[in-house]
């Protein structure tokens, strides 16, 4: 009946761990995708961006060193930004909680309620 929930998770990130804890406390079943170990493809990122209703830059961790190293601040081509996230998943904001055709960046973790 209900759609499966997938969490793009980085276990080293406190915000990501908080999102998992929040789901656990609510008794919600979910699948974890360690997106740093299993990076999303360009196509997956496009689908998730659409579900989030966000632009590629809005999903990027602009304070990461790799963001500066790649000179992404000056990049205006959204396809190039998506490619950078697929190639360097550390650039992707986290955690992303996906359910069906909706998704949220769970910061703060109670944003998850929007898709439950």
pLDDT one-digit tens code per residue, 50-90: 999 999 999 999 999 999 999 999 999 999 999 999 999 99
* Containing structural domain, residue 64: 41-92
Which runs of consecutive H residues, i.e. helices, occur in the chain?
Answer: 14-25, 42-52, 65-69, 78-87
- Reported as a pLDDT band with limits 50, 70 and 90, residue 2 is low
13 belongs to the catalytic site:
yes
- DSSP three-state, residue 96: strand
How many CA atoms, within 13 angstroms, populate the side-chain half-sphere of residue 111? Answer: 18
pTM of the model: 0.94
- 1 with 27, same domain: the answer is yes
Q: Which of 60, 63, 105 lies closest to 84 in space, CA to CA?
A: 60
Per-residue model confidence (pLDDT) at position 62 = 97
CA distance linking residue 11 with residue 16, whole number of Å:
7
- 62 with 105, same domain: the answer is no
Q: How many domains does the chain have?
A: 2
Q: Which of 44, 88, 97 lies closest to 66 in space, CA to CA?
A: 88
pLDDT in tens, 5-14: 999 999 999 9
- 30 with 19, same domain: the answer is yes
- 86 with 113, same domain: the answer is no
CA distance linking residue 24 with residue 20, whole number of Å:
6
Continuous segment of H or E residues that includes residue 109: none
Active-site residue, from 6, 13, 32, 70 = 13
């Amino acid at each position: 009946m209900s759609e499966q929930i997938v969490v793009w998770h980085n276990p080293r990130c406190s915000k990501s761990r908080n999102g998992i804890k929040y789901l656990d406390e609510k008794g919600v079943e979910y699948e974890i995708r360690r997106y740093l170990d299993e990076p999303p493809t360009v196509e997956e990122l496009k689908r998730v961006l659409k579900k989030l209703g966000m632009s590629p830059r809005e999903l990027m961790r602009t304070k990461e060193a790799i963001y500066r190293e790649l000179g992404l601040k000056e990049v205006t081509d959204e396809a190039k930004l998506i490619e950078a996230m697929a190639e360097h998943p550390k650039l992707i904001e986290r955690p992303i909680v996906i359910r069906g055709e909706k998704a949220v960046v769970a910061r703060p973790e109670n944003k998850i309620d929007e898709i439950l």
